[in-house]
Structure 1
Amino acid sequence: MTPPCRQPARRRTAVLRREAVLATVPVAVAALLGATGPAAGTAGAAGAGDPYFPLSGNGGYHVRHYDLTLRYHSDARELDGKAVLAARATQNLSRFDLDLTGLEVTGVTVDGLPAALRRHGQELVVTPRHTLRAGRDFRVTVAYHGTPKPVTDPDGSADGWIPTDDGAFVAGEPQGAMTWFPANSHPRDKSSYDITITVPQGRTAVANGVLLGQRTAHGNTTFHWRETQPMAAYLATATVGTFKVEQYTTHDGIHVYNAVDPREASRAAPVLKKLPSVLEWESTLFGPYPFRSAGAIVDHAPDVGYALETQTRPLYDSAPDTDTLVHETAHQWFGDSVSLTAWKDIWLNEGFATYAEWLYDEQHGGDSAQESFDALYAHPASDHLWDFPPGDPGGGENIFDTPVYARGAMTLHELRKAVGDRDFFRILRAWATEHRGGHGTTDQFVRLAEQISGKRLDGLFHTWLFTQGKPKNT
């Protein structure tokens, strides 16, 4: 996401508690049925256990693939959807939840059989005909429709399906995916995606990955997108608008797809021309680009106030500047390929992407990273920059605030000074490589930095990530 200086204060989720329900088979019956008979099961948790967003995500299963078929009536702002989730049970599962809000569900099946359904806040509670054994693959189909609306996050900003004057700006961080498809919506659960979107002829629908096909008939155009690499639900998009489209392939074989609102085209063009060189520069620093495709969606959405690193194709609310392009592109390594396990570790996304801006400026005729650090450190101890430590911001209302971005980047600069350039850039590259397509935590990053540098660094990270107030400059 873009640094806070280009966005309003970002991002409250009500905590709903539900007792787990034990579904049992009588012991005598189970003994007669044997191992092949019905299994006893328990309900999957209603959240992934993240303290900042307690109901985001769900327990008891992992979604391997989402197949989303959508039709958006942009003039009426109505969405028809069918979601097919290929999942695997991680426990004997008698019941499970999906995250979905604001849309009417007309039917749910599990492996083709109708399932019992009830709504509980943002939770779609599904009870299949039979307990799903741990390790079993199963398929959930959800039919739904309605007028999707964004959610309001703890800091007062909006995310999810955000209507625009010609379509929708679809940005899901941290909890907006549930406004347009049923999901296991926490970064811990990553999946591949097929997204097929039908929109009125003349509109373009842009999602993640590679465009597999486009066809027009009866006044509508259908776009089929596929992302094969693991992706967190908040990074999915299905943005709709009137766009000018540009496609090409870089010399490294990366397919680029840019969709730009004509009202932003003249200002966006000189910046988007830099995308191939930015991809090449970041690949040199961080390791090979982690996806097959890249690009940008530049919308005209003046009320949004931020950009987002939607996987493979960052989403901009207006024409970006070069720093924003560098920032969102860096997220493809730090945040998209290497994802969070808990939202408190958000500095691993935003601090890294902000420091990429500093490095780009340093190597392209701008301020050195030390000068960028010094300019921030000059802020007095009473400044908002020092209000909370970036390693645990304290709640969802703070995760997109200044300390996470700026003090997160300052932490990396302190690390660079402590270990030297050679080991510092080895650490960045190893982090992106060893956790590619997976997840990472702050503790894992600290251990990696210590392993590569051979130095004790716990004091440095404690001071810059977890200490209240302005740290003493070393």
Structure 2
Amino acid sequence: MRRMAAVLSAVVMVLAGPVAPAQAAPPQPGAAGIGDSYYPDYGNGGYDVEHYDIRLRYQPATDELSGSTTIKARATQDLSRFDLDFRLGVKSVTVDGRAARFARSGDHELVVTPARPLRRGHTMTVRVAYSGIPSSTTGAWFRTPDGAVAAGEPEAAWWWFPANDHPADKARFDISVAVPTGVEVLSNGTLPHPPSPDGPGWTRWSWHSAHPMATYLAFLAIGQYDIERTRNSIIAYSQLLTPELEAAARASVGRTAEIVAWESSLFGPYPFESQGGVVTPPDALPYSLETQTRPTYGTSHFRRGPNPNVVVHENAHQWFGDSVSLTRWQDIWLNEAFAVYAEWLWSEHTGDAPAQQLFDEYYDGFPDDDTVWTLPLGDPGVPVITPEIYFRGPMTLQALRVTVGDPAFFKILRAWPAEHRYGNGTTAQFVALAERLSGRDLGPFFQAWLYTPSKPARPS
């Protein structure tokens, strides 16, 4: 019987002819967005960046920025072309050393077509040469009397370097900038060697980041700065500060090492190779930002005197937002709630108001119909940076603390940055962690505090 079946199979094959091999699908363009429903054109699809090598030259007198960024990335699909987020004028693009075609699309899409399609899994090297005046467009580049500051959220990169500009695609960075001699350049990570000559009258500053970083956390501060260095810390103060602002800033940012040591006792080991801060010129930066390893501080925080709370806040982000970054901007509360709650814990630590007292003041202070209650914390919409996040966020964490008890709560607080160190996280993952460590079903709790557009019941 088996013999007959084999003969019949052979006859069928002869009659039908040879079977053609399956044809591989042709390479496709990478998506123009990474897939974030809040910001559909942020980031890009089809590749994952491993490293940015940014080499620039900046003239403070004219705000002219020129140079190149070399991107090492792995294709996650067969690619016929791909996008980068970038706005300045592009001179040339190469992919794996071969000239590539490029074109503009939309507000900030640079569409790159390589000379040859890229196969999935291939590690490509993309070099973009460019120049322009970053301050000629609005965004995250702020010109100052002595230079510039580049810092912003939820986007910042595409005003000064081409990138996959979304925190879901983190990478390592080397940032090198040549400036007229006598001008300082601050950025992320460490300064592996002293600034070096780069032609007559020019000096190059080269910064290295050892751990993955979201693109919006990369920054530049260029100008006249007083720089204080210790073994693992760099703090810089603008020389344009008034005496009053400088005194307040130094009394605040000068406590960074103390504050980071205290936060490490709560959140686990400090996640990065360097710490510190940069106090920018007066009114140069309209906010402060948790730029990785070295927060940037706007002077508005110091107009009423010393303000260690802002130092507590921005350095708490080194764990919550920087080491563990968002997968999607909808989950912004995972960044800001923890940073503000760190301020509440600092208040307890220094003998001021306990966290429960601060909760009660907030909870009782907002009417039932206030947007603090009607805007769902876990799905706030666009723009994501709103006052409601900073009020309802820490209240949610204090309510969780009351609900699960201090032992479980502080385990959760430490486990979240440990289990997602140098990666990304989502609200669903945080809820699962809280349930696992508390041994409780917290679905109704998080539904009420994150997603229900009304005032939750007071926890007890």
TM-score by length of 2: 0.90
> What is the Cα deviation at residue 303 of structure 1?
5.3
1:180 is the counterpart of 2:165: no
Counterpart selection for 1:265 from 246, 264, 269: 246
- Specify the alignment match of 1:341 in structure 2: 327
Deviation per residue, 1:119-160 (Å, 9 max, x gap): 1121000000111111111100000000003865xxxxxx42
- Specify the alignment match of 2:296 in structure 1: 315
Question: Could you tell me which amino acid in structure 2 is paired with residue 65 of structure 1?
Answer: H
> What is the Cα deviation at residue 273 of structure 1?
2.6
Counterpart selection for 1:326 from 312, 321, 343: 312
Alignment of 1:29-428 (within 5 A): 40-101=26-87, 103-121=88-106, 122-149=108-135, 159-213=139-193, 214-216=195-197, 218-249=200-231, 255-262=232-239, 263=241, 264-302=245-283, 304-318=285-299, 320=302, 321-378=307-364, 379-395=366-382, 397=383, 399-428=384-413
Question: Could you tell me which amino acid in structure 2 is paired with residue 269 of structure 1?
Answer: R
Question: Could you tell me which amino acid in structure 2 is paired with residue 211 of structure 1?
Answer: L
User: Whole-Å Cα distance in 1 between the matches of residues 116 and 98 of structure 2?
Assistant: 10
> What is the Cα deviation at residue 364 of structure 1?
0.8
Deviation per residue, 1:44-70 (Å, 9 max, x gap): 000011122111100000110000001
Contact 1:86 1:140 in 2 (8 A): yes
Contact 2:210 2:273 in 1 (8 A): no
User: Whole-Å Cα distance in 1 between the matches of residues 119 and 53 of structure 2?
Assistant: 23
Partner SS, residue 246 of structure 2: helix
User: Whole-Å Cα distance in 1 between the matches of residues 317 and 180 of structure 2?
Assistant: 32
Contact 1:151 1:160 in 2 (8 A): no
Deviation per residue, 1:359-397 (Å, 9 max, x gap): 0111111110001111111121233422401111022x2
Larger CA deviation: 386-395 vs 364-373: 386-395
Contact 2:144 2:284 in 1 (8 A): no
Q: 1:215 to 1:39 in 2, by over 3 A?
A: farther
> What is the Cα deviation at residue 195 of structure 1?
0.3
TM-score by length of 1: 0.87
User: Whole-Å Cα distance in 2 between the matches of residues 194 and 39 of structure 1?
Assistant: 36
Question: Could you tell me which amino acid in structure 2 is paired with residue 470 of structure 1?
Answer: K
User: Whole-Å Cα distance in 2 between the matches of residues 80 and 308 of structure 1?
Assistant: 25
Partner SS, residue 449 of structure 1: helix
Question: Could you tell me which amino acid in structure 1 is paired with residue 422 of structure 2?
Answer: G
> What is the Cα deviation at residue 469 of structure 1?
2.6
> What is the Cα deviation at residue 472 of structure 1?
2.3
- Specify the alignment match of 1:26 in structure 2: none
Question: Could you tell me which amino acid in structure 1 is paired with residue 40 of structure 2?
Answer: P
User: Whole-Å Cα distance in 2 between the matches of residues 195 and 309 of structure 1?
Assistant: 18
Contact 2:89 2:130 in 1 (8 A): yes
Contact 1:172 1:233 in 2 (8 A): no
Structure 2 residue runs of 5 or longer lacking an equivalent are 1-19
Partner SS, residue 223 of structure 1: strand
User: Whole-Å Cα distance in 1 between the matches of residues 196 and 447 of structure 2?
Assistant: 55
Question: Could you tell me which amino acid in structure 2 is paired with residue 230 of structure 1?
Answer: P
Deviation per residue, 1:446-468 (Å, 9 max, x gap): 00000000011111111111111
1:462 is the counterpart of 2:447: yes
Contact 2:324 2:424 in 1 (8 A): yes
User: Whole-Å Cα distance in 2 between the matches of residues 372 and 226 of structure 1?
Assistant: 40
Partner SS, residue 211 of structure 1: coil
- Specify the alignment match of 2:4 in structure 1: none
Contact 1:81 1:145 in 2 (8 A): yes
- Specify the alignment match of 1:451 in structure 2: 436
Larger CA deviation: 372-381 vs 183-192: 372-381
Question: Could you tell me which amino acid in structure 2 is paired with residue 237 of structure 1?
Answer: F
Contact 1:314 1:329 in 2 (8 A): yes
- Specify the alignment match of 2:422 in structure 1: 437
| CA RMSD between the two structures | 1.7
Where relative contact order (Cα < 8 A, 6+ residues apart) is larger, the structure is 1
Partner SS, residue 140 of structure 2: strand
